[in-house]
Structure 1
Amino acid sequence: MWRMLVGANAGEGGLIGTALLYKSTDFQTWNFSNRLHENPTTGMWECPDLFPVRIKGRKGLNASAVGKGVLHVLKVSLDLNKHDYYSVGNYLTETDTYKPLIAEIDTGIGLRYDYGKYYASKTFFDPIRQRRIVYGWTNESTSTMDDVAKGWAGLQSIPRIVYLDQRANTSLIQWPIEEVQTLRRKKITVKDVNLEGGEVARLMDVSGVQLDIEVAFKIPDVKQGSTPTELIAESGPSICSQKGASMRGMYGPFGLLVLASNDLTEQTAVYFYFVFTKKDGWKTLVCSDQSRSTVSMNLTPDKTTYGSYVRVYDDEKLLKLRLLVDHSVVETFAQGGRTVITTRVYPKFAQSKNARVFLFNNGSETVNVDSATVWNMATVRFVDFGQ
């Protein structure tokens, strides 16, 4: 028996988002069965994806896996805001329906794959390496008129492995597939760098628009409050969008400036920022600020700061970022892929060898960079398998 999901909407005003389940015995004739799942306030669902994940371990599973030790992920793309939402739950084979583990963070109102420009994603199972891989549409941050003028729009993200977070089984981990590392070339590493409050330090001998960057900061001596999944889903994106990299806090913002000009008039800031509340204590945001990404007067780009909270545990000593910079694309993976952000930026001057990388700390307290490693990346070689 073959099963297929079709995204749809229903109800008055089309506000009920739903995934329609169809079945076939010959892969040609499909018959409607039932609604796999729905959410009453989310509008049109596009590109639904239901797949199994192991409760323990990182290996992927074939789409038909069910039973003990298996949970399911239901992901949909919301036409209302062009973001991909998911939840973790159970696929009920008796009724061919899906039930999230936590109703408050159901698909469409909870967690996102990516807190930036990432839409219409799809996963597949790689049986050779036993992994599930996801890739998504990274749409533009410029206007339709800008896209028409340059003659193209949109691209696919770097493929990522995806698996259940072993420390929080209601969320996923995403990480670039290991094949990306075969493109690494020139390597520069710095270690044990103290950044005073307000300091900006250029990484010497580093430039370019094709980079793989890994940086680790020592976590300030503060106790992290718990970061429930609901908090990541609900308030993290709005806080990042309200606060850019130029603000001043006690701990942060601190992080990286990429695709930056020498005079810093152009820069894309990716950073951590510690937020304190009397109720919840310290929590960590990871954000990507596009507000100063270009000085071009010929474009009308999105200048939003994207991001959300990232879960950090008390036994962790480092805050880690991995950035994949590829011309107009900056993909950010925080704390091993617990929170992911993709942004599109279009610098006018910070291009080719004129694109610099800086470490920065806009907080009032000193931050220690445990290590920062940058690889210049080769260009992907395309192979025509039809020949």
Structure 2
Amino acid sequence: MENSVTILDCIQRIPSLIEKIIVEKDINIAKVLKKNQEKVIQINKIIIVGSGTSDTAARTAKNFIIRITKIPTFVYTPSEFELDTVEKNSETLYIFVSQTGTSKMTRKAAQEMNSQNYFTIAISESATTLLATEIPNHILMGVGYEEHPTRTIGYTTTAMTLMALGIELALIREVIDIKKANQLYQQALKAAQHQKELVPQTMAWLDKNRRKMMRSSCIFFITSEELMGVAKESAMKIWEIPQIPAIAYEIEESLHGPNYGYTPNHCVIVLNDGGSNENKYLALTNYMKDIKQNGFIIGKTTIDEEDLLFSFEENEFKFIEFSVVIQVLAYRLALDGGRDLLSPHDNSVMYSYFTTHEGD
């Protein structure tokens, strides 16, 4: 049966779901932590494990978690975690993320840590997923039901849930007080409300500027460490939805080896959140505009009318605003490129070669 809910419909649900995560934080997140309060006090390291969008969302939240909790935090894909030579210990919090709760490798890693009685928390879309039932501590992702497998809601709500988990950890460990926690949640709500304005603004921008992107053989997303999770998720979404190969690079790295490879068929989109790297952002964008005729910059400071200038909440939750621009971009490029996004996915041929989730 054809799906009548579009990816854009999903994107437009995100602000209300962020609000719900914050409203329900006490019964969803704080409840789990308080149940394990003795272990929470002893944590000296956090490890987050997930694949795909679960991985990019974790990388989006990581730096915030470090800042707010003062606890070293690391993100691994399940394969990296399996090969990790760091000794596992009882003072580490292991968080395993899978939207459907069926990711085989994530579940395997979670089961291994749980069998050794380490402090584990699962995050998935419902309390009845396989992952949720296999791990003693479960937190809802706040995604509800997402109709499309190319996750947009899941990315944002996963990152927000992980950041809320960081806030609640910091509260219990008395690193921050309730006033600070409430200020942070208010910042997230403001960013979510602004997201509503960015959807039509991005659509209007693409009315005039999508052609170069659609004609490109590859799209590069360039930014600095703070938004690298967003950039990696952007690359994934552009590959998944309009099916254009895409890559994410940190700004300094984008000026090294890749600088010999840029061609007019490569579209560079710079995510500009200001800060110390802004001169590098502008230099690369000018180079791509002047020499390759295929560069854009979005965010705080732009160069010409082809770019997308938008203000954003200059706080810990700017990922909410930057990510929605790329989600809309992915949807629009696919739509204008003629891809049918509403018919059911038939992955039976692919599944005859490989599967990554239970039930595939």
Shared fold (TM-score greater than 0.5)?
A: no
TM-score normalised by the chain length of structure 1: 0.25
The structure in which a higher percent of residues are strand is: 1
The structure in which a higher percent of residues are helix is: 2
- Larger RCO (CA within 8 A; separation ≥ 6): 2
